[in-house]
Amino acid sequence: MNRCLALATAAILFLALVPARAGIVVSVQIAPPPLVVYAQPPIPAPGYLWTPGYWAYGDEGYFWVPGTWVMAPFQGALWTPGYWGWGNGLFLWHEGYWGLHVGFYGGVNYGYGYGGVGFVGGRWQGGAFAYNGAVMNVGAVGGLHTYNEPVAAPAGHTSFNGGPGGTEATPTAGERAEMAVHHLAPEAAQLQHLAAAAANRALLASVNHGSPALAATSRAGDLAAPGASATHGMTATQGAPAGRSAAGGIAGARRTYPAVQHAAGGAPRVPQGIAAGTRAPVRASAPAPRAPATRGPQSSHTMAPR
C-alpha cells in the first residue's frame, strides 16, 4: 500500500512539474455538455483579452469554467482556447496557450470572436490592442482602441471536435505551422480562475444540468464580482448587443507591457524565444484542479505535444 501511495505521489508531482510546452491532456470517456449560452461582461480596462468559457473535468465530472477577461501577458499576445477532441474512444482535453497567432482549437464555436477558426474580436495595432466593437463588449471604458467590423455568426454550441456529434474541423496549413512553435502556458490568473471554478459546486454539470447561473466574469478568479454574467441573454454566437459602443479611433492611455519593446519600424518585440520558436522560461503547467470526491467516469492524464 505504501509503495502504491509513493508511486501515486510521484506521478502527481511529475504531472505538476511537466513543462507547459508538452501540453497536459486529460482523457475522459464521456463527451462534454454543449457550450453554455451567456452574455459577455464588458471589458474591465484596456489591455484585457477575452478567454472564452469551457467545460473542464474533475473527479465529480464536468464543471464549467466561466469565460473571463485576462490581461495580455505580452504585447502582441493572442489566446488560443483549449478544446476537447475525440480519439481512440476517449475525449482528450488540449490545453489553451498564448502565442503570436491563434492556432487550432477544434473548430469549436466559443463565440465572441472565436467562431471555430482564428479570432475576429480584435487585433494589435501600433502597440495597443484594438477591439472589434461589433463582436466584443467594450462597454463604456475609456482609453480603448476600437473599430467596427460585423462578422457572420456561426451556428451551434458543440463543445468538442471529432467523434459522433463533434465538429469536423481539421487544422489549416497555418494552424499546423503554429503547432510547430512553442507557446506560453496559461497565466497564473487563469489557473487561479480554473481552481476557483473547480471549487464551486454550482458549476458542476451534474448540479446545473449544463446551465450554470454563473457563466462569465469580468475578471479572472473573481466569481462573486458584480460583472459576473448569468446564463441568459445573448448567445455565444451572436455579435454585439444593442447599446454597446462600437466607436473607432478612441485615443487614450495604453497598457505598458513588461519586458516588451519596439524594434525598428514599430514592430512589436515579444519575450525572448516566442518569435524564434525556442521556448522562453515559463511556469510549469498542471492538470485541472480536482474536487475531493471520487465519483464520476474514470479519467487519466497523458502527455501530447502542443
Query: Could you report the per-residue pLDDT of 33-72, keeping only the tens digit for each?
Result: 999 989 999 999 999 999 999 999 999 999 999 999 999 9
Residues above pLDDT 90, as percent of the chain: 56
Residue 78 burial by Cβ neighbours in a 10 Å radius (0-12, 13-18, 19+): buried
- Where residue 140 falls among pLDDT bands split at 50, 70, 90? confident
Q: Which amino acid appears at position 8 of this protein?
A: A
**108-118: b or e for each residue (b if 16 or more CB lie within 10 Å)?**
bbbbbbbbbbb
Domain boundaries, the chain: 20-298
Q: Which amino acid appears at position 10 of this protein?
A: A
Q: Is the pLDDT of residue 162 over 80?
A: yes
Query: Could you report the per-residue pLDDT of 59-116, keeping only the tens digit for each?
Result: 999 999 999 999 999 999 999 999 999 998 999 999 999 999 999 999 999 999 999 9
Query: Could you report the per-residue pLDDT of 249-289, keeping only the tens digit for each?
Result: 222 233 333 333 333 333 334 555 555 433 333 333 333 33
- Where residue 212 falls among pLDDT bands split at 50, 70, 90? very high
Q: Is the pLDDT of residue 129 over 50?
A: yes
